[in-house]
């Protein structure tokens, strides 16, 4: 079985995230860039599938040169090879364009399972897996908190705000996982040393034979940073805090 894991490098969630006020794009120069933790869990699932069924695990990323760090970490965790889609033309790609590029890369690599995180911690769009499935004409099994496969099909539990659904789909499928699905392993020293010798292919947009420039869907009109919230009243509980709070809520029309 061949699993391809779509991984992403994102700003650390414990630091501030900023938008460029002119382009409306994420400012990736502010704060530390880390391996998106949900995609790390998707990789763990792929590694577990390989342990059960054999086969290989390919990690795929689209991003600037520094995204190689996430690929190397994935290889150190146990992935067999990497593909880095690196092209200046892709900076600031929206979901439609990103899904087009990833779908073209997945078609070229070939897969039984294509895995991703459910929503990245930066853009939080949450639609790339569904868009990729639509483009490739394969089944989607998204927001999975558990997954098992038998080589021909998969079953899993989809957990969303609407509840829990048990899904079944034929392979190949595009899967997205929630952060509850598995704890990612740590790369060990041996893994890190081996990773240095594992192959990483670098592809450009031209290599993928997709159109050079995607049709413009929408353009950014304006970007406004909301004024920061101001701290209001703060009291120290002296036994009457409950009463004072109830009064605040009452005068604010909230009770």
Partner 1 sequence: MAAVLVYVEMNEHGPAKSARDLLAFAAGLGEPVAVVVAADSPSRESVAELGSWGAGRVMLTTTPDAGRVLVTPAVDALEAACASAADVAAVLTADTADGREVAARLAVRCGLPYLGDVVNAELRGGDLFVEKSVFGGNYAVESVVSGMAVLAVRAGVNCGSPAPREASVDPLDVGPSVAERTAILDSLPPTGTGGRPGLSEAEVVVSGGRGLGSREQFALVEALADAFGGAVGASRAAVDADYCDPVLQVGQTGATVSPMLYIALGISGATQHKAGMQAAKTIVAINQDAEAPIFDIADFGVVGDVLEVVPQLLNELAAVRR
Query: Does residue 210 belong to the site contacting partner 1 (CB under 8 A)?
Result: no
Of 52-60, 68-76, 167-175, 192-200, which part binds partner 1 (CB under 8 A)? 167-175
Residue 232 C-beta: closest distance to partner 1, Å: 4
- The backbone torsions φ and ψ at residue 229, rounded to the nearest 5 degrees and listed phi first, read -65, 145
- Stretch of residues binding partner 1 (CB under 8 A), selected from 59-67, 72-80, 159-167, 204-212: 159-167
Q: Are strands 153-160 and 139-149 parallel, antiparallel or unpaired?
A: antiparallel
Contact with partner 1 (CB under 8 A) among 167, 177, 181, 208: 167
Pick the binder of partner 1 from 33, 98, 99, 149 (CB under 8 A).
Answer: 99
* Site map (CB under 8 A) of partner 1, residues 218-237, x = contact: xxxxxxxxx-xx-xxxxxxx
Give the shortest CB-54-to-partner 1 separation in angstroms: 25
Residues 214-251 as b/e (b if ≥16 CB within 10 A, e otherwise) read beeeeeeeeeeeeeeeeeeeeeeeeeeeeeeeeeeeee
What is the contact mask toward partner 1 in residues 56 to 95, using x (rule: CB under 8 A)? Answer: ---------------------------------------x
- Gap between the Cα atoms of 255 and 248, Å rounded: 9
Is residue 121 a contact point for partner 1 (CB under 8 A)?
yes
DSSP state of 191: H
CA distance 144 to 131: 17
According to the binding rule CB under 8 A, does residue 251 interact with partner 1?
no
Name the minimum Å distance from CB 147 to partner 1: 13
Is 33 an interacting residue with respect to partner 1 (CB under 8 A)?
no
Secondary structure (3-state) at 46: helix
From the list 134, 191, 192, 207, which residue makes contact with partner 1 (rule: CB under 8 A)? 134
180 belongs to the binding site for partner 1 (CB under 8 A): yes
Rounded Cα distance between 143 and 126, Å, is 9
CA proximity to 179, closest of 116, 227, 247: 116
Residue 28 binding partner 1, by CB under 8 A: no
φ and ψ of 48, to 5 deg: -65, -40
């Amino acid at each position: 079985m061949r699993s391809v894991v779509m991984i992403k490098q994102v700003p650390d969630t414990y630091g501030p995230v900023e938008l460029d006020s002119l382009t409306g794009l994420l400012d990736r120069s502010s704060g530390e860039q880390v391996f998106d933790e949900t995609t790390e869990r998707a990789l763990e699932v792929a590694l577990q599938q390989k342990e059960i069924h054999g086969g290989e695990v390919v990690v795929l990323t689209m991003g600037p040169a520094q995204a190689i760090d996430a690929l190397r970490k994935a290889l150190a965790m146990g992935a067999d090879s990497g593909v880095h889609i690196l092209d200046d033309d892709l900076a600031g790609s929206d979901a439609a364009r990103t899904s087009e590029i990833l779908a073209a890369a997945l078609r070229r690599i070939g897969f039984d399972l294509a895995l991703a995180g459910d929503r990245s911690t930066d853009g939080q769009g949450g639609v790339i897996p569904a868009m990729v499935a639509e483009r490739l004409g394969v089944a989607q099994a998204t927001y999975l908190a558990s997954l098992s496969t038998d080589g021909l099909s998969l079953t899993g539990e989809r957990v969303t705000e609407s509840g829990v659904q048990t899904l079944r789909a034929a392979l190949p499928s595009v899967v997205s996982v929630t952060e509850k699905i598995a704890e990612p392993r740590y790369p060990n020293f041996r893994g890190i040393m081996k990773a240095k010798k594992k192959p990483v292919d670098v592809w450009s947009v031209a290599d993928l034979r997709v159109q050079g420039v995607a049709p413009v869907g929408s353009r950014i009109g304006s970007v406004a940073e909301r004024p920061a919230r101001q701290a209001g009243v703060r009291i120290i509980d002296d036994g009457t805090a409950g009463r004072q709070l109830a009064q605040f809520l009452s005068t604010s029309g909230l009770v």
